Structures are given as structure tokens and as C-alpha cells.
Amino acid sequence: MDVAKLGQRQLFGMKKETLLKRVRLYFEQTQHAAEVVEYLVVILFRHSICVGDFSLQPLSELIRQIFLTETPNDTLRRHCVYFEDFFAPEEWQTVIQRLFTNEEEYHEFTKETCLYKQLLAKKNLEIPKESEFQFDLVSIFKDANGKRHTWTLRNTKQVASVEETAKVLEILTTLTIFQASGVRRFAEYVKFKSQKGCIDAEHEAAPAELVQEEQPEESLPQEPIAAATGKAAPKGQPRSSSSNIRSTKQNAPKVAAKPDTRTPLQEETLPTKSENPSDFAKTRPPKTNKLTTESAAALLEPDTSYMRHGKTKEQIKQAREERRRQQKVNKALKKKKK
């Protein structure tokens, strides 16, 4: 089964846990020790120059297995000193004896790598300063054909020393895993610059569970109170608890009580609370064409004329009876005169 190699985007963009799992899986499926060792060198480079922890400690057993059991080759010889700290002193001597024929060959292969190792150790001691800005390294390299290409490494430490940072970038020129169309990239370092930028805006979608909790509950139809209607609630409908009734009374706006100004006609025609509105609609006389909506509404308005004249309802009634009595007397007098 073909296994996808780890490219530039994966090695410099993946999170630590995912990246280490991919490296371990790639070795288990391919047993390509040379490529895996260069993957590990890239992670060491990223650990020293980027913000965040990319320690290789979770892969310590894999590192020991490669250098103690795999067939020696020039890639293992060139980069072995980066991983000396993963072995005890006697184990490290075993590694040297497996990879090199003598001590002189060992120093010849690892002379440049030892300088890079010291530089990485120094960069690892740098603690990133807290800043509202994010720093990115924009560098230019030449490929094996001499063509320039620009490469950006995100979220790096703030540059403390330009010379040291440039030297760390040169580690990439010792690797052969980065290629495009068969041409090796990072063949020669040219220059770099550090750019900083701040976050202008940030948003994160709320989890689905929180959104559901914040949605308002649907209001249930209120059950008529038996004390007001004189009827019990039908079966199947939930009874309103006393706490809900109390809370409704407390939250209801207070309205000033109005006097009962309904005329006798209105008292007879308006349905009571216990009556069914549909029955009232059947007994109500039909509207005539001459009666408009406005006039019908006016008939239903309470008679408040007595309030405008400054008299009570009883005074108006007595005056009407007095006028009727006087009219009867006048009619009787007229008959006698005839």
C-alpha cells in the first residue's frame, strides 16, 4: 500500500500531536529510516524557532530503534548528533561504532551538524515575550537549479539575533526531503525578514448545545381557572400550578379599576363569562346594511353622558320620570278643557 510522504505543508503546519503520529505511522509502514530522520530534524528546527512545544520526547523509542537497529547510511551519520541526548553514554558509543568505522570518520561527518546542534540548544532556551503581535519569518531560498522561491514560516519567536536566526535557517539546506518536480528545494539560503501583525477581529461559533439552551421555551396555552369559570379543566390538559398563577399576577401590569358604565341594554346583550361565545353569535340579530362598523362600535360604548352634565345616574332617571308625569298631567288638563 502506498503511503503519502510528509511534505512541506504538513511538517511546518500540523499540530504537534498529529505530526508525531504521522511520522510514527510512516516509519511503521515504510521502514524508510533516512526520510524519517530528516522529518525529525525538521521538527527540531521548528521547536527552536517557532512558538510552541515540538519536543521529540514522545518519539524517543522510535529514535532509539532507528539508530540502534536500522542499516547505517549517510543520512543517519550526518544527523545522528542531534539525537545524542536520547541515549545513555554507553548506548551512544554503540551508535557511533555501528555508524562509523573510526573516530575520525565520526568527526568528519558531524563537524557541521555539531555547530547546528549547539545553536538549536541556545535557541531552545529563548522564552517568547508576551506580545499582541504574531511574528512570521519570510525567507528566500534557491533550489538546486538556482531559482529563487519565497517561503513563509508562521508564528515564530521574535528575532533576538539576526545572525543566529539566519544560521538556523541554513539547517534546511542540509535536508533532501523537500522537492518540487524532482528539483530539491532549500538548496541555498539567500535572506529572510521578520514580519509582525496583530489580530484585528476574532470570532468563534457557539457550541450547538449552548445555542439550544438559550432558545426561549414555547409558551403553553393558559388553562382557565375553575374559580372564575365555574368549570373544571378538561382531562388531558396540564393544570397550571399555583406558582405559575402567582407569578402571572405579580408580573401583570396594574390597571386602575373603572366604574361599571354599561347600560342595561349592554348588560343584556353581552355574553357572560360562563356563556359560549359561539352561542352568543347565533342569537345576536344580524347587522343591517345601514349600520356601519363605526356606528356599531359606538353602540357598544358605555353611556357616560351623565358624567358630562355633572349629574348622577339616579338624578337623570328621576328627571325623566318627572317629565313623564308632567306630560301626563298636561294631557289630562287639555282633555278637561275640551
- What is the tens place of the pLDDT at every residue in 167-217? 999 999 999 999 999 999 999 999 999 998 876 777 888 877 655 545 555
Give the domain range for residue 20.
8-131+167-181
Of 73, 67, 42, which is closest to residue 56 (Cα–Cα)? Answer: 42
Across the range 119-138, mean pLDDT stands at: 89
Count of CB atoms situated within 10 Å of the CB of 43: 20
Of 22, 24, 31, which is closest to residue 4 (Cα–Cα)? Answer: 22
- All three cell numbers of 314, joined, read 339616579
pLDDT band at 128 (very low <50, low <70, confident <90, very high): confident
Residue 251 has pLDDT above 60, yes or no: no
Task: Tell me whether residue 112 is in a domain.
Answer: yes
- All three cell numbers of 114, joined, read 555539531
Give the least confident one: 4-8, 33-37, 275-279, 332-336.
275-279
pTM above 0.75?
A: no
Residue 310 has pLDDT above 70, yes or no: no
Task: Tell me whether residue 216 is in a domain.
Answer: no
Query: Distance between CA 94 and CA 68 in Å, rounded?
Result: 8
pLDDT band at 314 (very low <50, low <70, confident <90, very high): confident
β-strand 179-180 against 183-184: which pairing, if any? antiparallel
More confident residue, 196 or 90: 90
Of 333, 45, 336, 330, which is closest to residue 174 (Cα–Cα)? Answer: 45
At position 33, the amino acid (one-letter code) is: A
For 20, 167, 171, 184, the CA distances from 188, given in Å and listed in that order, are 28, 12, 10, 10
Task: Tell me whether residue 313 is in a domain.
Answer: no
Pure H helices in 217-263: 226-229, 242-251
Query: Distance between CA 177 and CA 46 in Å, rounded?
Result: 16
Count of CB atoms situated within 10 Å of the CB of 144: 15
Residue 135 has pLDDT above 90, yes or no: yes
Across the range 267-280, mean pLDDT stands at: 46
Across the range 126-142, mean pLDDT stands at: 89
Task: Tell me whether residue 13 is in a domain.
Answer: yes
Task: Tell me whether residue 103 is in a domain.
Answer: yes
The pLDDT score that the predictor gives to residue 273 is: 46
Residue 259 has pLDDT above 50, yes or no: no
pLDDT band at 264 (very low <50, low <70, confident <90, very high): very low
pLDDT band at 295 (very low <50, low <70, confident <90, very high): low
Task: Tell me whether residue 57 is in a domain.
Answer: yes
Across the range 245-251, mean pLDDT stands at: 46
Query: Distance between CA 89 and CA 94 in Å, rounded?
Result: 9
Beta bridge partners of 152: 138
Task: Tell me whether residue 304 is in a domain.
Answer: no
More confident residue, 320 or 336: 320
Residue 329 has pLDDT above 60, yes or no: yes
Beta bridge partners of 148: 142
Domain count, the chain: 1
Residue 9 has pLDDT above 60, yes or no: yes
At position 296, the amino acid (one-letter code) is: A
Task: Tell me whether residue 73 is in a domain.
Answer: yes
Region of residue 186 (left: phi > 0; alpha: psi -120 to 50; beta: else): left
Query: What are the backbone dihedrals phi and psi of residue 194, each rounded to the nearest 5 degrees, phi first?
Result: -105, 130
Q: What is the mean pLDDT of the chain?
A: 79
Query: Distance between CA 196 and CA 5 in Å, rounded?
Result: 32
DSSP structure class, residue 231: -
